[in-house]
Amino acid sequence: MALKGQVKVIVGLMAVGVVGVVLARDSIVSAQQRPTPEPARTDVNAALLAEVRGLRADLAQTNQASVRAQLLVARVQLQEQRIMYFDRRRADLASRTAEAAEKTRQMSAELVEAEDRVRQMRSGSPDSTFPFPVGAIPKEQLGGLLQMFEEQVKKLRVDVQAASDLEQRLRTEEADVLSVLSAEQGRWNDFNARLDELERALPK
């Protein structure tokens, strides 16, 4: 009887063991077939969303930079036209100033010569450069001739002063245009520098 009891106990233990093994196997299979946890999928979606937002931000930045670049290019072209205009004015004024200076020089030389002629006629002792012999002119005509030369001197003085004023006015205007031209070239350089900065800021 004791042997039979032991056998029953052993058989019972074996049955319990088999049931435990089956339950453990089912638990392992169930765990392997379970779907991916939801938090992992959420992390992937968040990463994709962040990437899309980053791409949109880069695209917006690029579009904004492109618009700014187009505006700067237009301003550079307009600035170049202004520089060309003021440079033409500068060249024209330089030519006119040179002509006025030459005219002032010539008229000043004529004035010096006329004043010297009047001085010699008044002294009655002209030198060898005098255009005609004063002694051969009758006294009644000499006074009229002297007055004619004096009037010529007065007119030449007025003309020399007018030529000198014109020359000075042209020089002042030329200096003003040169100043404006320098400022316009500075603005052109500034626009180009801003274009370079914008190009460096674009995404590579």
- The residue extents of the domains of the chain are 52-201
What is the C-alpha R_g of the chain? 54
pLDDT value of position 16 = 45
Q: Is 1.20.1330 the CATH number for 52-201?
A: no
Spatial separation of the C-alpha atoms in residues 187 and 194, rounded to whole Å: 11
Two structure tokens written together for 128: 């060898």
Instruction: Give the DSSP letter of residue 134.
Output: G
* Tens digit of each residue's pLDDT (9 = 90 or more) over 7-39: 454 445 455 454 454 454 555 545 455 555 555
All residue ranges of the chain with pLDDT < 70 are: 1-42, 49, 52-55, 57-65, 124-142, 202-204
Q: What is the pLDDT of residue 185?
A: 93
Nearest to 148 by CA among 132, 160, 163: 132
In the structure encoding, which two tokens stand for residue 146, read together? 């002297």
Model pTM greater than 0.75? Answer: no
Closest residue by Cα to residue 93 from 164, 186, 159, 169: 169
The overall average pLDDT reported for the chain is: 76
Dist. CA 34–CA 28, nearest whole Å: 10
